[in-house]
Amino acid sequence: MPKGVSYKDAGVDIDAGNRSVELIKSVVKKTWRPEVLTDLGGFGGLFAPNMKKYKQPVLVSGTDGVGTKLRVAFGADRHDTIGIDAVAMCVNDILVQGAEPLFFLDYLAVGKLLPDKVNEIVTGVAEGCRLAGCALIGGETAEMPGFYGDGEYDIAGFAVGMVDREQIVDGKRIKAGDILIGLPSSGLHSNGYSLARKVLLDDDISRLTDNEEGLGRTLADELLEPTRIYVSQVMPLLEQFDIKGMAHITGGGLLENVPRTLPIGLQAEFNYNSWPVHPVFKLIQERGNVAETEMYRTFNMGIGFVLVVSPKEAEAVMNAVSGESYKIGTVVE
């Protein structure tokens, strides 16, 4: 064994890690809520929730990653929005139970730690937290030489929220005749990228700079469009209306995610002509000759979040939504 070998010689740069922490401190602190009691650099994040807001507080947690959308970020060498995706995939999931996202933690593993790139990624995470109204309270950046290739990394997120036990949205009261209201997605979000990349790129990274006439922008711009965060849209609705059930449309699409909120004996009947399908989905379907059923069970097809409400409240809910919404179907026996 050679003498005098350092950790840096083995591929781990502690100084670079320290520089990364210094770079991200300011953007992380901008996400903090009054309940945050800790500072960066501790072994754990301290958060003291306002318990006066709840009669019977229930913690709701969720974790997720970004999947092979990361391959697009690597190919385009653009890393400023991928952190938004990491936050969105987690906070939208816990929102389904009616939970207000309180705080978020991220795990970032890299082959080689480049402080500026880490700053770019974490700045995206902080922006996602800002959009969700939650605090980025902690995280981990692991340098793992020999495990990830040059320029590669992986990111995962962990969100914790809270809801009053009486206000948990669990779908148990959904009945036949209830209305499905869809909130539009921003595009692919963070699902189906293995199929999307196969059809649109076929492992040719140079295609990312292609301007697609049907999209009006490059494939890189389209494929790196961040996942929409629905917290600011949905939380006010929960205070005003009886939202019986909700679904975050991720892997499995409408066909598999909406049934997860329905009681046994009920199913969703969609009107597929009731909302605009984003051009990127049409492009994938036509270029890859993908069957329609496969499209709807792989992608969100333009609907990122679904609310289930009674017929008498449907119009009022749609009028109260900030932004567009569509009556996309009905619950049937």
Average pLDDT (22-32) is 82
Please state, rounded to an integer, the average pLDDT across all residues of the chain. 93
Q: How far apart are CA 245 and CA 169, in angstroms?
A: 6
Range with the poorest average pLDDT among 57-61, 192-196, 211-215? 211-215
Give the start-to-end residue ranges of the domains of the chain: 14-167, 179-332
Average pLDDT (40-60) is 90
Tokens of 26: 């300011």
CATH 3.90.650.10 fits 179-332, yes or no: yes
Q: How far apart are CA 268 and CA 279, in angstroms?
A: 25
Average pLDDT (9-23) is 76
Query: What is the per-residue pLDDT for 1?
Result: 53
Q: How far apart are CA 328 and CA 160, in angstroms?
A: 30
Query: What is the per-residue pLDDT for 19?
Result: 80
Query: What is the per-residue pLDDT for 11?
Result: 75
- Supply angle C-alpha 126, 132, 134, rounded to 5: 70
CATH class of domain segment(s) 14-167: alpha beta
Q: How far apart are CA 8 and CA 14, in angstroms?
A: 7
Average pLDDT (255-261) is 96
Examine the pLDDT at 199 and tell me if it is beyond 60: yes
Examine the pLDDT at 203 and tell me if it is beyond 90: no
pLDDT tens-digit map of 95-105: 999 999 999 99
Examine the pLDDT at 2 and tell me if it is beyond 70: no
List, as one string, the DSSP characters of 98-149.
TPEEEEEEEEEEESS--HHHHHHHHHHHHHHHHHHT-EEEEEEEEE-BTTB-
| Of 238, 230, 229, nearest in space to 169 by CA | 238
Query: What is the per-residue pLDDT for 142?
Result: 93
Query: What is the per-residue pLDDT for 43?
Result: 84
Question: What are the CA-CA distances from residue 235 to residues 56, 98, 155, 251, 331 (Å)?
Answer: 18, 8, 27, 23, 23
Helix (H, G, I), strand (E, B), or coil: what is residue 245? strand
pTM, two decimal places: 0.94
Range with the poorest average pLDDT among 37-41, 46-50, 193-197, 274-278? 37-41
194-197 long-range contacts (CB < 8 A, ≥24 apart) are: 194/67, 194/68, 195/284, 195/288, 195/290, 195/298, 196/223, 196/280, 196/284, 196/299, 197/68, 197/71, 197/72, 197/223
Question: Which alpha helices (H) appear in the chain, and where do they start and end?
Answer: 14-29, 69-76, 82-95, 115-132, 193-200, 219-223, 231-240, 253-257, 279-288, 292-296, 311-320
Query: What is the per-residue pLDDT for 73?
Result: 97
Query: What is the per-residue pLDDT for 40?
Result: 77
